[in-house]
Structures are given as structure tokens and as C-alpha cells.
Amino acid sequence: MTSSEAIEGRAPGLRERKKAKTRAAIQQEAMRLFRERGYDGATVEEIAEAADVSPSTFFRYFPTKEDVILRDDYDELLLEVFLQLPPDLTPLQACREALRSIGSITGGLSPEERELEKVRMALTFSVPEVRARWINELVRSFQVLAGAVAARAGRPADDIQVRAFVGAVLGVMLVAMEPLVEDPTREWTEFLPDIDEALSYLEQGLPL
């Protein structure tokens, strides 16, 4: 199974589609208000009102105000594809194939969706509290990826080799995306080829 086949096989039900629509509406209104008023100039209550939901509904989808910027569907989709790929692929090959699936998705984004992604990235690295939350999310991402890699490898998630592998993968990905920190107005998706190249270099054993 290729990453494209894994994506096509992920047919969301009606309930899931409704939840995704509500989540997207909240994020779109949040980004619009943040762009117009700045991060501190828009409250959760105002975002909820603009999205025609209650504040309690907002918090069901996004535990904090920072999360409305940081949360997306890409991590979940990546993990689903990663776990569904053939077992004969090494964990690193599966990582690269799963990341290519994101490239196929982002290539079909509308101009409005691309603008949303640019606003999200700009806020992630320019607002101190969001950036701090992003760093905390990296820890969660490490734990989630470690669990997925361990499942593919048939090892416990706390295996030191699993943890070292995940640390190396996340490390080279962060290095490839480092220019975003300096210029968060760029689209993060343009760095996908750089991430793949960095993972290829890792696959070769990091020769210098």
C-alpha cells in the first residue's frame, strides 16, 4: 500500500465530517480575527461568536487559545498512514513515505486554505506564548511518534533505540524547517522537499 492508497482508504463518516467542518470554521474565524486585531486583540468568546458556536464548544475542539493555532489534522493523518504502510518498509522509509502523503494533500489546498496555513505559521513563531506552547507540543509529538515507531518495530515505546530514532527524525526535520523561525511568513509546505532530503541524509548514516 502506498501513502496515496492509505489516504484514499480513510473515508470519514458523517459525524467525523461534521466535527471537521466545525473545527475548520473555528480556526478560519480565529485566523481572520487574529489577522485583523492581532493575537491579543481577539478573545475566545469573540472567536466562538464569529464561528457561531459556544465558548464551551470552542474548548471541546481546542483546549487553549494557543491550540486553535497549533492544532491541525496533519499529525493524525501522518500517523495513520505511517502505521498502515507495508511492514517490509523500514521505519525511516515509512516516515518518508508518510510525509510525501502530506505533500499530495497540501498540493490541493485552495488559496484560502494556503492563506490560513501562512497565518498559522506566522503566529506560531511570532507570538511568545504560542511559540512556547509549540515547544511543549514537540514533547507530545515525540511521545506519539515513539509509540507509532515502536508499534511498527514490535518494541516498547520506551526502548532506547526507538527513542534515539525518533529524536534523530524530529531533529533533522526541525533543522530543515529552521528558516521558518526567521521568516514565519513562508509556507511550511515548501520545506517538505528539504525534510525529505534531510531524512535521506539520516538514512545514509549522516556521512560527512
* Alpha helices (H) in the chain, listed in sequence order: 3-8, 14-37, 44-50, 55-61, 67-70, 74-84, 91-106, 111-126, 128-153, 160-176, 179-182, 192-203
- For residue 91, the model assigns a pLDDT of 92
Confidence (pLDDT) at 68: 95
Q: Which domain holds residue 125?
A: 3-203
pTM of whole model > 0.95? Answer: no
- CA dist 107 to 28, 47, 187, 199, Å? 19, 28, 12, 21
Q: Are 31 and 120 in contact (CB under 8 A)?
A: yes
Q: What pLDDT sits at residue 107? A: 63
Residue-level pLDDT at 9: 52
Percentage with pLDDT > 90 across the chain: 50
* Residue of 124, 165, 119, 129 lying closest to 146 (CA atoms): 165
**Which pLDDT score, from 0 to 100, does residue 1 have?**
47
Q: Residue type for 100, please?
A: R
How far is the C-alpha of 65 from the C-alpha of 68, rounded, in Å? 6
Tell me the pLDDT tens digit for each residue of 149-202: 999 999 999 999 999 999 999 999 888 888 877 787 777 777 888 999 999 999
Query: For residue 141, what are the CA distances in angstroms to 78, 115, 207?
Result: 11, 25, 27
Residue 113 counted as domain residue: yes
Asked if residue 91 is part of any domain, the answer here is yes
Calculate the average pLDDT of the chain: 86
pLDDT tens-digit profile of 40-90?
A: 999 999 999 999 999 999 999 999 999 999 987 777 888 888 999 999 999
Tell me the longest C-alpha to C-alpha distance in the chain.
55
Whose grid coordinates read 511568513? 185
- Domain of 99, CATH number, reads 1.10.357.10
What span, in angstroms and rounded, lies between the C-alpha atoms of 187 and 194?
A: 13
Mean pLDDT, range 29-36, rounded to an integer = 94
The answer to whether residue 41 is domain-embedded is yes
- Residue 29 forms part of a structural domain: yes
SS (H, E, C) 7-48: HHCCCCCHHHHHHHHHHHHHHHHHHHHHHHHCCCCCCHHHHH
Please report whether residue 51 resides in a domain: yes
Domain assignment present for 208 = no
Summarize the confidence of residues 100-109 as an average pLDDT: 71
Q: Looking at 21-25, 35-39, 76-80, which range is the least confident one?
A: 76-80
Residue range 87-108: average pLDDT?
83
